[in-house]
Chains A and B, each alone.
Chain A
Amino acid sequence: MSNRSLSSVLKLSILSAVLAFTSNVYADPVKAAFVYIGPTGDHGWTFAHDQGAKYVKEQMGDDVIITTVESVEENSDSERVITSLARKNDIIFTTSFGYMNPTIKVAKRYPDVKFEHATGYMLEDNVAVYSARFYEGRHVIGKIAGRMTETNVIGYIASFPIPEVIRGINSAYLAAKSVNPDIEIKIVWVYSWYDPGKEADAANALIAQGADILMQHTDSTAPMTVAEEKGIYAFGQASDMREWGKNAQLTGIIDDWGPYYLERVQAVADGTWTSTDVFHGVDSGMVKFAPMNNSMPFEVRNEASKAIIDLTMGAIHPFTGPINKQDGSPWLAEGETPPNYPDLLTMDFYVEGIEAKYPN
């Protein structure tokens, strides 16, 4: 009796040893997590990041386990979420500017976990930053807006005064001004990334004040629906918003994060991940465009397409001197283009010609 039980114990231990061995041979799937500022159904910023996460899953299949957390506010809540994700994941993408400090804090406590912070500028050994040159997209829609407006007023619905948003405003304004010297840009800050009601209020206010083209740097489709209803033009933000503005959407700036996410998650799987500082634009396909509206005259379309090609080839830079700051002080000299850091990544001023007061 005792012999038999001994042998069964032996068998069990051998079995478990074999099991332990095999699970070592077959590598565990990479665990990647994404923290989102809004709901994935916003059809804007968060939607685009979520499409990227889905792309990674599609490409890597069982080799990756993806966790996403949506609507995480940019306060101490985000630190809690990032911390709890850090306990169980190999790589974490924090996809909003306001997650910068929490990401750095948590990263210091979890040196073995890789972090990727979107649109920020603080690097650590285990924190990479990545962003897209959306201002290149804004350059293209700025040119279109400058040509298509009849009232010469562009309405701009902005979220928070952070460098990313300021770059977009300056770039769109300079491009519009380059094709239409009479252009005026009206800017409304709604101090929210996602509040359809307030975004619609802002859109209506801008239209009442004479804007006949809307640009938005908020995440919902509400401004597009207002533009459609009022029969004016607008541009999709972060994803193709044609569904909400069949006549209104001239084109849209589309964020394509998928290939980058795949590359980074794969790097963790291969053990080749290093902290990098990525700032890709139209050239790498991180910034794309929605199909152009048929109502655009041929010349305007042509000009826009040419701008896209020039950006892809690196032949033009949306910020090419001479450019002065709003107060008239010089920023870029003739022919000069700004470096990523600090000029672009910490931009905190309007360029000359914008009449709105810089928000404090």
Chain B
Amino acid sequence: MNESLFISIIIGISIASVPLIFAAIGELLVERSGVLNLGVEGMMIVGALLGFVVMSHTGNPYLAVLSAMLGGMAIASIFAFLTQFLLTNQVATGLALTLFGLGFAAFAGRGYTEETIQLITAVPIPYLSDIPYLGPLLFSFNPLVYLAFFMVYLVWWFLFKTKQGLILRAIGDNHDAAHAIGHNVVRYRVMAILFGGAMAGIGGAFLSLVQVPIWGEGMTAGRGWIALGLVVFASWQPFRIIFGAILFGGITILQIHAQGLNINVSAQYLSMLPYLATIIILVSLRMRLKNKTNRTVPNCLGRIFHSTT
């Protein structure tokens, strides 16, 4: 295998994994706070649309990414209002959010299927990217790729190195106790849900701003669901999201390359692998839960918090 093909595979994997990293790291924080938001796909597609629309009107990539974040947050705020203030069922509301997001984006994006934009391209870091081998491998990616890795670090730092992170995890584990000692459960959860929306929004926008310069209805094609699986795969540990996303995205890219190179693999079996791994991890988590050694699954995940005082 020659060098440029190898680098192209690496870049391909990065492009396939980054939308998953964004969406999953956002959802991870949400689930750590004890909320299950199944609306990731809906928030992603709205981000993809808004990013594309703003890019096509202004040509400004910063504004486009920012709008995608705001779009994701706007949709997420519906979920936050319904589940945190009206105390609706989180699973049903999340599913509704996905359906709403897909339908809304398809409707609002009607006029944009005919357009194309300038892609946000990779920016090789000066000097560093000239290092042989390491340069193209480490320092020649799209700025959003670095941002994705940084967000993972940021979420890890927030969850495990700050007081607010500790409180958020406490709320996720036992919202009644956290409430009893005076923490505002609803406020923390709303903030987490909005953060999740912003991350899903960028993840979606990555598809329409970096991967392909088009907008198409349903272009997220199930990536929001993969991100949800990824959070479980990572067993709610931030850095494992990177590993999982590279595995999930990498399998897609490798099987495409294998086909072109006439390597005999079955695309179907390979595409099953990440999900199979997720199921195995789910089962093993469950076993550990039985032995009371599990410390990762937020105990209050998906439960409605209703303060009586």
Contacts and interface: CB of A to CB of B under 8 A. Distances in A.
B259 A197 contact: no
A110 interface: no
Contact of B256 (A42, A205, A226): A205
Contacts of A205: 8-9, 12, 253, 256-257, 260
Contacts of A41: 109-110, 113-114, 216-217
A200 B11 CA distance: 13
B25 to A, nearest CB: 19
Interface in A40-83: 41-43, 71
Contacts of A134: none
B212 A39 contact: no
15 contacts: A41-B109, A41-B110, A43-B113, A195-B221, A200-B211, A204-B11, A204-B12, A208-B257, A209-B260, A209-B261, A220-B219, A221-B116, A243-B115, A357-B264, A360-B266
A317 interface: no
Nearest to B223: A197
Nearest to A226: B212
Contact of A71 (B15, B211, B212, B218): B218
A347 interface: no
A356 B218 contact: no
Interface in A167-225: 186-192, 194-202, 204-209, 220-222, 225
B267 interface: yes
Contacts of A201: 12, 15-16, 211, 252-253, 256
B5 A243 contact: no
Interface string A216-255: 0000111001100100000000000001100000000000
B114 A208 contact: no
B221 A222 contact: no
Contact of B4 (A202, A208, A222): A208
Interface in B205-244: 207, 211-214, 216-219, 221, 223
Say which size band chain B's interface belongs to. Answer: 35 or more
Nearest to A223: B212
- Closest A-B pairs by Cβ, 10 of them: A41-B113, A208-B8, A39-B217, A222-B212, A195-B221, A186-B260, A205-B256, A200-B212, A209-B260, A188-B259
A206 B73 CA distance: 37
A310 interface: no
B256 A188 contact: yes
Contacts of A187: 259-260
A332 B280 CA distance: 50
A271 interface: no
A335 interface: no
Nearest to B253: A201
A357 B106 CA distance: 37
A155 B260 contact: yes
A299 B109 CA distance: 42
A233 to B, nearest CB: 17
Nearest to B207: A197
B218 A39 contact: yes
B126 to A, nearest CB: 23
Q: Is the interface of B mostly helix, strand, loop or mixed?
A: helix
A194 B216 contact: yes
B119 interface: yes
Interface string B266-303: 11100100000000000000000000000000000000
Contacts of B252: 198, 201
A355 B256 contact: no
A196 B257 contact: no
Contacts of B9: 205, 208
A89 B11 CA distance: 50
Contacts of B308: none
Nearest to B257: A205
B122 to A, nearest CB: 12
A328 interface: no
Given A41-B109, A204-B8, 7 more contacts: A188-B256, A200-B211, A204-B15, A205-B257, A206-B260, A222-B214, A229-B119
A359 interface: yes
A243 B268 CA distance: 34
B89 to A, nearest CB: 25
Contacts of A229: 119, 213
Contacts of A195: 219, 221
Contacts of B261: 209
A243 B114 contact: yes
B262 A357 contact: yes
A208 B211 contact: no
A213 to B, nearest CB: 14
Nearest to A359: B267
